[in-house]
């Protein structure tokens, strides 16, 4: 799992380090304090693996939707990804892992992104992956014509067996990560992409129980079938069938989030304001399900929130499931990102004393 992250010259952050990352991490702080940029940095770096997430989205596609970026242009990469729109310097990220290894990411105007592995202990650095943003738009190619496209997971320098094995240990936490934000509840492709995987090992039973426990719904079955002129996931209720899309925003968001969680393992989950569209009582169940999935499926969670109730719910859920937790308060001044963290015990003491951790002095 990730232990720390350093961001240099990316979006609104000139420089900054996020230390002491735990299995579950909650980021709080005022607007424009760098919380979303932390998630964006992980998302961008994951594109070095030429990948798509479980929903078929490339990292750049997700960034585009989140920040209204222009379509990707090979010759003129979007200047909005650079601090101060200055493309004369490279965007850089440094990821350190709990096992002592590190990955260094850099992106220049002419390169989409290199990942360099530094194994723990003495040893040479090895560039383990190159390229960026998953699949290119139709009719485009991310790689300049003069340079052949680098195959996924290629090694540009000779890598020792030990270095290759070390990279295999850590790559999933960056390569396979998924970001879930407020727009996710409208992601209709979730059902089509994940239904066969879910029904094959009857995880539909778990989803039905969740809907009952959280929303009090009596669901007798789930099916993905043509309905009202389109393929839809239907909830089979005692007296009628209902499309997931016809549920309220909170139930729809929860349903799709749980489907994605059930498909992830040994990777990173990025969440932006997981309390979106949920009543305070449902928020506690959402937090509990996320933390339980993190423990059972070896997921590292990085989430942002503006809700004090969400902080309280995650603290309680991590205590219940004995999961390591860190509450990070972020600030951004003149491009410098600072991040102060407290562990689960200290965060609980602050909350019990009536201190609002979202408003740290």
Among residues 11, 149, 16, 179, the alpha carbon closest in space to that of 81 is found at: 11
Supply the DSSP string of 2-53, one letter for each residue. EEEEEEEEETTEEEEEE----SEEEEE-STTSSHHHHHHHHHHHHGGG----
Per-residue HEC secondary structure of 68-110 comes to CCCCCCCCCCCHHHEHHHCCCCCEEEEEEECCCCEEEEEECCC
pLDDT digits (tens, 9 = 90+) for 256-293: 888 888 889 999 999 999 888 788 788 898 899 999 99
pLDDT at 128: 65
In this predicted structure, which of 61-65, 115-119, 255-259, 320-324 has the lowest mean pLDDT? Answer: 115-119
Residue 7 pLDDT exceeds 80: yes
Rounded distance between C-alpha atoms, residue 190 and residue 233, angstroms: 10
Supply the pTM of this predicted model. 0.87
CATH code of domain 2-176+265-359? 3.40.50
**End-to-end distance of the chain based on CA atoms, in angstroms?**
30
Residue 62 pLDDT exceeds 80: yes
pLDDT digits (tens, 9 = 90+) for 66-98: 888 887 666 677 889 999 999 999 999 999 999
In this predicted structure, which of 146-150, 234-238, 351-355 has the lowest mean pLDDT? Answer: 146-150
Beta strands in the chain (DSSP E): 2-10, 13-18, 24-28, 91-97, 102-107, 114-118, 126-130, 178-180, 221-227, 230-236, 241-243, 268-272, 300-304, 325-333, 336-343
pLDDT at 83: 95
pLDDT digits (tens, 9 = 90+) for 137-186: 455 544 433 333 443 444 444 456 666 677 777 888 888 899 998 777 67
Q: What percent of the chain stands above pLDDT 90?
A: 41
Residue 190 pLDDT exceeds 90: no
Domain extent listing, the chain: 2-176+265-359, 192-251
Rounded distance between C-alpha atoms, residue 24 and residue 10, angstroms: 24
Q: Which whole-number Å values give the CA distances from 31 to 68, 166, 181, 200, 296, in the listed order?
A: 18, 38, 16, 43, 33
Higher pLDDT, 101 or 334: 334
Q: Are 88 and 100 in contact (CB under 8 A)?
A: no
Q: Are 72 and 140 in contact (CB under 8 A)?
A: yes
pLDDT digits (tens, 9 = 90+) for 16-53: 999 999 999 999 999 999 999 999 999 998 888 767 78
Q: What is the mean pLDDT of the chain?
A: 84
pLDDT at 147: 38
Rounded distance between C-alpha atoms, residue 31 and residue 335, angstroms: 14
**What mean pLDDT is predicted for residues 109-137?**
66
pLDDT at 282: 84
């Amino acid at each position: 799992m990730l232990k720390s992250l350093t961001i240099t010259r990316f979006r609104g952050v000139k420089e900054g380090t996020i230390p002491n990352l735990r299995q579950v991490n909650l980021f709080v702080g005022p607007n424009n304090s760098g919380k979303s940029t932390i998630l964006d940095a992980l998302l961008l770096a994951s594109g070095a693996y030429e990948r798509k997430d479980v929903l078929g989205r490339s990292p750049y596609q997700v960034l585009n939707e989140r920040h209204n970026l222009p379509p990707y242009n090979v010759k003129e990469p979007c200047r909005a990804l650079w601090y101060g729109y200055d493309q004369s310097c490279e965007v850089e990220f440094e990821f350190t892992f709990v096992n002592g290894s590190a990955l260094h990411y850099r992106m220049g105007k002419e390169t989409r992104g290199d990942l360099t592995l530094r194994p723990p202990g003495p040893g040479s650095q090895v560039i383990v992956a190159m390229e960026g943003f998953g699949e290119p738009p139709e009719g485009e190619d991310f790689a300049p014509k003069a340079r052949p496209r680098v195959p996924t997971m290629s090694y540009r320098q000779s890598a020792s067996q030990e270095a290759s094995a070390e990279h295999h240990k850590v790559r999933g936490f960056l390569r396979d990560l998924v970001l879930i934000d407020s727009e996710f509840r409208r992601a209709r492709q979730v059902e089509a992409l994940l239904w066969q995987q879910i029904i094959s090992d009857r995880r539909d039973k778990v989803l039905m129980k969740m809907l009952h426990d959280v929303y009090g719904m009596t669901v007798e079955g789930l099916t993905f079938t043509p309905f009202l002129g389109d393929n839809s996931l239907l909830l089979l209720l005692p007296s009628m069938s209902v499309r997931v899309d016809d549920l309220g925003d909170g139930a729809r968001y929860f349903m799709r989030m749980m489907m994605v969680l059930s498909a992830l393992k040994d990777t990173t989950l990025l969440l932006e304001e997981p309390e979106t569209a949920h009543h305070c009582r449902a928020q506690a169940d959402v937090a509990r399900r996320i933390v339980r999935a993190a423990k059972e499926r070896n997921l590292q969670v990085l989430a942002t929130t503006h809700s004090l109730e969400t902080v309280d719910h995650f603290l309680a859920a991590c205590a219940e499931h004995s999961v390591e937790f860190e509450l990070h308060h972020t600030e951004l001044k003149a491009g410098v990102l600072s991040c102060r963290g407290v562990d689960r015990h200290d965060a609980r003491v602050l909350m019990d004393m009536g201190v609002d951790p979202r408003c740290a002095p």
